[in-house]
Structure 1
Amino acid sequence: MGAWVLRATAFGVLVVVLRTLLGFAMIYWPTEGSWLRILCLAVIVLAVAAWGLADGRGDRQANPDPERGGADLTVRWLKAGVAGGLGSGLVAWILDLLPKLDLGGNGLLFELTAGASFIVLLIFVPAMAGVALGRFLAGREHRTGAAAAA
């Protein structure tokens, strides 16, 4: 299985699970919606950034010289974001058709365009920040280790 497929599946499922939990929470605690939305958003951003950090760190450790390249993590995470956004939008739309489950009542067109584009950015941007930080930290460790050995 491709690395981007694993990431797309994991974060698509995470988005759908959090939207479902938020839908149930909004039924039983409608006055708590604002902080619950922020909490769900923070969970997604932190999970994506952590995985991006691990990817960037691993890539820099495998390829210590930034001039000689490494894995193309930008395309990997962009593919994961697009597939995760479209997949989670489609699944959320299907689940929203079930009775007693409220995921916002958005139409299919909205879920596959505006909703999916938000999820794409929600996956791609924190992942790229995590990759950059991971590469920086691993590169710094490599430079300090090489300086101490010399």
Structure 2
Amino acid sequence: MIPMNAWVLRAVGLGALTVVLRTVLGFAMVYLPTAGSWLRILCLIVLLAAVITWGVLDGQADRRANADPDRGADLTMRWLYAGLAGGLGSGVVAWILDFVPKFDLGDNGLLFEVTSAASFIILLIFVPAVAGVALGRYLVSRNGEKSDGAADTVVLNKETAGV
């Protein structure tokens, strides 16, 4: 069973980041309409960087805890749950915030926010996170192999020196 607090923390954090970025983008589109395309790309990069970084940290922590790849935690399901809850939650919150005066988040309906918008956010959370987990596990495994090789070299040198 996946600990609930692990995926809930990721869902709330990344869902909140999504809402903040959409809000900033909404204000920017009103006050800086000519910079909209650059700000969309910047918001996308910020979200992807946060997701990939968190995924890499998860993968590294898991590989350090379980050196055997067959005994690692099921981080795929953790990130799938986080993506689902983060995507749906951010869609509902964005829909509610759109009723607040001076908030321009696109005037999308609830059905759009919990289907199309949520599915996009789910993929933006899940796919990069799983890639980050794989990268994190690989980096720890690679560093482990390098340190094992260095230890063997030291032992060989001591043996040949007669120590």
| TM-score after normalising by structure 1 | 0.97
What is the alpha-carbon distance in structure 1 between the residues aligned to residue 95 and residue 128 of structure 2? 25
1:61 maps to what in 2?
64
Q: Percent identity?
A: 68
Match of 2:24 among 9, 21, 24: 21
Q: Equivalents in 2 of 1:144, 1:63: separation in Å?
A: 18
1:117-136 matches, cutoff 5 A = 117-136=119-138
CA distance in 1, matches of 2:148, 2:107: 57
Alignment match, 1:149: 151
TM-score (normalised: structure 2): 0.89
Aligned length: 149
Secondary structure (helix, strand or coil) at the match of 2:108 reads coil
Task: Give, in angstroms, the shift of residue 90 of structure 1.
Answer: 0.1
Q: Is the 8 A contact 1:64 1:142 kept in 2?
A: no
Aligned pairs (5 A) from 1:1-150: 2-67=5-70, 69-150=71-152
Residue 147 of structure 1: how far off its partner (Å): 2.0
3-state SS in 1 of match to 2:101 = coil
RCO comparison, higher one (Cα < 8 Å, 6+) = 1
In structure 2, give the amino acid aligned to 1:52. G
Q: RMSD over aligned Cα, in angstroms?
A: 0.9
Structure 1 gaps of 5+ residues are none
Whole-angstrom CA distance in 1 between matches of 2:32 and 2:144: 50
User: Aligned equivalents of 2:58 and 2:151: distance in 1?
Assistant: 26
**Cα offset for 1:146?**
1.7
Kindly state the Cα deviation for residue 65 of structure 1 after the two structures are TM-superposed.
1.5
Point out 4+ residue stretches in structure 1 off by more than 4 angstroms: none
Distance 1:101 1:55 in 2: 35
| Structure (1 or 2) with the larger CA radius of gyration | 2
- Deviation at residue 145 of structure 1 after TM alignment: 1.5
State the 1:98 CA deviation: 1.2
